[in-house]
């Protein structure tokens, strides 16, 4: 579920945990993935317990907690990939049985009196496809480095896209989901970006011209930026929420995603749903034209 805007909203919401100490770690029914730091859950909990949250960052669709070590030891990073249904929560979860990670938080260094910060951080994931990795500096590079993730969607340029996709035979919609090409776009935003760019999602990348790449890059930044300002897209119950369990508001701005058979807001033609690379694609067959170069 969460794409860049949702993950960015999570990260911003986690600002209050920066500086806090991790007093306890539990991994009920979670998937801990192999990484250069490869402890089991027990050892992982032991390595994380007692560290302080130094920073919260986002790379693509990943949440990264930077954990400072005891003096003299190196930093570690907890990398969380929410995948389809994962949520970071500072409040009670929708259901207790789907909580995958519990970080019990204590006050900032040296302060325990009058502690009003968040008492715990939860990773809740109904489907359980999300992943948690503990990484050292090398592992962080392997998990989130430039070999894995392309330029961030909020800053991507036409030159970035053109350099990576110009000669690709893939359909542009499929290519926009490739995190090595551009990091952070998922199924909702790919559809919305291409609608606003007026480009048919089936267009082969190699058929696109400079003007197309300019439009796609500009709309990528605009759509993702607007979605961040509206705190992401919440569709349905027990779906994406902010860390306080509030709903996002960008779903009201969706022009094509999830709107099969409804009239296009621009031309009135029914929105079409097709399948590309095993994923639904929504577009307006009239407003979005096929690039043929």
**Which token pair is 234?**
């919440």
Nearer to DNA, 119 or 279 (CB): 279
Determine whether 238 is an active site residue. no
Nearer to DNA, 105 or 228 (CB): 228
Q: Smallest distance, Å, CB 115 to DNA?
A: 32
First-to-last C-alpha distance (Å) of the chain: 34
Q: Smallest distance, Å, CB 72 to DNA?
A: 33
* Number of residues in contact with DNA under rule CB under 7 A: 44
224 binds DNA (CB under 7 A): no
Q: What is the CA radius of gyration of the chain?
A: 20
Q: How many angstroms separate the CA atoms of 82 and 59, rounded?
A: 12
SS (H, E, C) the chain: CCCHHHHHHHHHHCHHHCCEEEEEEECCCCCECCCCCCCCHHHHHHHHCCCEEEEEEEECCEEEEEEECCCCCCCEEEEEECCCCEEEECCCCCCHHHEEEEEEEEEECCCCCCCCCCCEEEEEECCCCCEEEEECHHHHHHHHCCCCCCCECCCCCHHHHHHHHCCCCCEHHHHHCCCCCCECCCHHHHHHHHHHHCECCCCEHHHCCHHHHHHHHHHHHHHHHHHHHCCCCCCCCCCCCCCCCCCCCHHHHCCCCCCCCCECCCCCCECEEEEECCEEEEECCCCCECCCC
Q: Smallest distance, Å, CB 119 to DNA?
A: 25
170 binds DNA (CB under 7 A): yes
The piece of 44-52, 132-140, 238-246, 283-291 that touches DNA (CB under 7 A) is 238-246
Determine whether 3 is an active site residue. yes
**Which token pair is 117?**
């910060």
Q: Smallest distance, Å, CB 43 to DNA?
A: 20
Do 177 and 188 touch, CB atoms closer than 8 A?
no
The piece of 10-18, 48-56, 113-121, 233-241 that touches DNA (CB under 7 A) is 233-241
The piece of 66-74, 111-119, 172-180, 213-221 that touches DNA (CB under 7 A) is 172-180
The active-site residue, picked from 2, 5, 82, 201, is 2
The piece of 1-9, 45-53, 107-115, 261-269 that touches DNA (CB under 7 A) is 1-9
CA 174 centroid distance within chain: 17
Q: Which of 9, 30, 35, 187 binds DNA (CB under 7 A)?
A: 187
The piece of 63-71, 77-85, 107-115, 132-140 that touches DNA (CB under 7 A) is 77-85
Per CB under 7 A, contacts with DNA among 256-285 are 276-280
242 binds DNA (CB under 7 A): no
The active-site residue, picked from 12, 33, 249, 279, is 279
Q: Which of 95, 146, 269, 289 binds DNA (CB under 7 A)?
A: 95
* Residues forming the active site: 2-3, 61, 279
List residues binding DNA (CB under 7 A): 1-3, 6, 31, 60-61, 81, 83-84, 95, 97-98, 126-129, 148, 167-171, 174, 177, 179, 186-188, 232-240, 248, 276-280
């Amino acid at each position: 579920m969460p794409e860049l805007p949702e993950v960015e909203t999570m990260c911003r919401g986690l600002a209050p945990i920066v500086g806090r100490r991790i007093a306890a770690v539990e991994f009920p029914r979670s998937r801990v993935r192999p990484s250069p730091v490869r402890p089991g859950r027990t050892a992982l909990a032991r390595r994380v317990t007692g560290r302080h949250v130094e920073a919260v960052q986002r790379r693509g669709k990943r949440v990264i907690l930077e954990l400072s070590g005891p003096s003299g030891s190196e930093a570690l990073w907890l990398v969380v990939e929410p995948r389809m249904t994962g949520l970071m929560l500072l409040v009670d979860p929708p259901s207790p049985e789907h909580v995958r990670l519990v970080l019990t938080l204590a006050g900032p260094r040296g302060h325990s009196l009058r502690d009003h910060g968040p008492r715990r951080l939860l990773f809740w994931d109904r489907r359980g496809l999300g992943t948690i990795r503990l990484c050292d500096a090398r592992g962080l590079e392997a998990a989130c480095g430039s070999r894995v993730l392309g330029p961030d969607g909020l800053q991507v340029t036409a030159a970035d896209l053109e350099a990576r996709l110009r000669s690709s035979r893939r359909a542009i919609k499929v290519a926009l989901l490739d995190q090595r090409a551009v990091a952070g776009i998922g199924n909702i935003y790919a559809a919305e970006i291409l609608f606003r760019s007026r480009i048919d999602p089936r267009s082969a990348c190699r058929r696109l011209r400079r003007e197309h790449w300019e439009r796609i890059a500009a709309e990528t930044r605009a759509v993702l930026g607007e979605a961040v300002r509206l705190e992401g897209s919440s569709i349905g119950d027990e779906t994406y929420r902010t860390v306080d369990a509030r709903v996002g508001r960008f779903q009201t701005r969706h022009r094509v995603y999830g709107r099969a058979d409804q009239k296009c807001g621009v031309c009135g033609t029914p929105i079409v749903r097709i399948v590309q690379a095993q994923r639904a694609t929504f577009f307006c067959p009239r407003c979005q034209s096929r690039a043929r170069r």
